[in-house]
Amino acid sequence: MWDASERTLYSMIAFLFIETLLELYLTMRQIRVYKQSKTVPKELKHVMNDVTFEKARVYGLDKAYYDIFKMILCDIVILQLELYFGFMAIVWTRSVEISTNIGLNPKSEIHVGCLFALLLNAIGVLKDMPFKIYGTFVLEEKHGFNKQTAGFFVKDQIKAFLVSQTLTIPIAAVFIYIVQIGGQLFFVWLWAFVAVVTLVLITIYPVYIAPIFDKFRPLEDGELKQSIHALADSVKFPLGQLFVVEGSKRSAHSNAYFTGLFGVKRIVLFDTLLVNKGLPEDDPSLTESDKGKGCKNEEVLAVLAHELGHWKLGHVSKNIVIVQVQMFLIFLAFSQLFTYGPLYEAIGLPVGEKPILIGFIVIMMYVLAPYNTMISFAMTVISRKFEYQADAFAQELGYAKDLGNALVKLQLDNLGFPVYDWMYSAWNHSHPTVLQRLDRLKSYTQGKEQPHKPKSQ
């Protein structure tokens, strides 16, 4: 019979394997939809031609096949082998050896833990790099979305790694220290520490971190800027600054968002959201493929009305509260399980050796995997509900038609496929499909007098 460590190991492996099989099954269901869908849905026939529909279908099919390959290789082969042969234990042992050679204290769990975090992150980046390169320069390039040069990509990856380590290593050190000195209620102090760090990062990210990776410029004075301020004033949104981010240097996909937890906030528009990237039609930087793409001013306002709906309805605050509750429960579970010896023996550590950082990683990623899966699905359900509510908010401001047009235009520009298997979509999509949202917007407006939009001053 298996001992406790073997039962622990095989239980983790079994659940991860079953979860991956579920993901594969759902993806295969969607692949069947891609293969069987040959005509444009009747709701989109007036805006989507057969050529665009076919491009979107092939793009979706290519991404689905890539997802299957990645799941089989990473989640079934590599991950299972890492668990079985004790990959984390090997990295920990190597961290102890290296700490001796570079002048760190091998008996200090903080010193070794920080080095372990660095090595684990570096190995993770190296493992993921071939997939990033393929996804960017083969898959996205093939379908016309990649805008990155090799040099831009390399610099981007280096900056991302350095920023990540600058944040991760100090947090890991404090994490270990709190567990060591926190007593029986250390999980409360851990939760408070992580909550503060999370709020600080949310606050400083748009101001200090995001500009490291992308160039931001103030939105030019004009009708759109005046209209956005009028829209913000109409819902009492404390708008401070309006920026356009040059996302087109990275990708042709579009987006918009607002940032700031307290007081004055900023709205950020991707240049790909705006017609001609927000530039004059004769601007020399515009390529032929860029011209004409993007949303008209009214459509941009509709997208922002949707985003402001998330703020007005408290979705951002609710999500933060939900995440903090989940973190508290995870830390509580960690406090009850991290002294369990077979947990560490299961991933290859000697009897009696219980590194805090490894204990947390194993518990959070593997032991709590069933719980995480259920919570992830629940959050997807909540997110889809929030999206419908934000659409309804935009409709109440008079933007139902423009929002519908914007959703369709973004769908076309991003080569989003409009038809999805219901089970695949329910499990994977945090947003309802474009057809579902259009149908809901139609139901909002039936029998209702359209409200007046806020006018710019």
pTM of the model: 0.89
**72 band by pLDDT with thresholds 50, 70 and 90:** very high
In percent, the amount of the chain with pLDDT more than 70 equals 92
For range 222-243, the mean pLDDT: 90
Residue 187: both structure tokens together: 């999980």
For range 352-357, the mean pLDDT: 94
pLDDT per residue over 22-57, tens digit each?
999 999 999 999 999 989 999 899 889 999 999 999
280 — phi, psi (to 5°)?
Answer: -60, 150
**205 band by pLDDT with thresholds 50, 70 and 90:** confident
For range 70-77, the mean pLDDT: 95
412 — phi, psi (to 5°)?
Answer: -70, -45
- Give all strands of the β-sheet with 256-259 in edge-to-edge order: 216-218, 239-245, 265-270, 256-259
For range 229-252, the mean pLDDT: 84
Higher pLDDT, 320 or 254: 320
Q: Which of 240, 296, 248 is nearest to 270 (CA)?
A: 248
For range 406-419, the mean pLDDT: 88
In percent, the amount of the chain with pLDDT more than 90 equals 70
pLDDT per residue over 249-269, tens digit each?
666 666 788 887 666 788 888
For range 403-415, the mean pLDDT: 88
Given a cut of 70, whether residue 290 has pLDDT beyond it is no
The pLDDT, as a whole number, for residue 9 is 95
Given a cut of 90, whether residue 2 has pLDDT beyond it is no
Higher pLDDT, 176 or 448: 176
The pLDDT, as a whole number, for residue 457 is 46
For range 211-222, the mean pLDDT: 88
Higher pLDDT, 144 or 281: 144
pLDDT per residue over 374-384, tens digit each?
999 999 999 99
Can you tell me the distance from the alpha carbon of 89 to that of 104, in angstroms, rounded to the nearest whole number? Answer: 19
68 — phi, psi (to 5°)?
Answer: -65, -45
pLDDT per residue over 95-139, tens digit each?
999 999 999 999 999 999 999 999 999 999 999 999 999 999 999
Beta pairing, strands 216-218 & 239-245: antiparallel
Which of 21-25, 168-172, 292-296 shows the lowest per-residue confidence on average (mean pLDDT)? 292-296
Q: Count CB neighbours of 40 within 10 A.
A: 19
Residues contacting 207, CB < 8 A, separation 6+: none
The pLDDT, as a whole number, for residue 286 is 67
Task: Write out the catalytic residue numbers.
Answer: 307
The DSSP line for 328-362 is HHHHHHHHHHTT-HHHHHHTTPPTT---HHHHHHH
The DSSP line for 54-109 is HHHHHHHHHHHHHHHHHIIIIIIIIHHHHHHTTHHHHHHHHHHHHHHHTT--TT-H
- Averaged pLDDT of the chain: 90
Residue 290: both structure tokens together: 């860029």
The pLDDT, as a whole number, for residue 385 is 96
**148 band by pLDDT with thresholds 50, 70 and 90:** confident
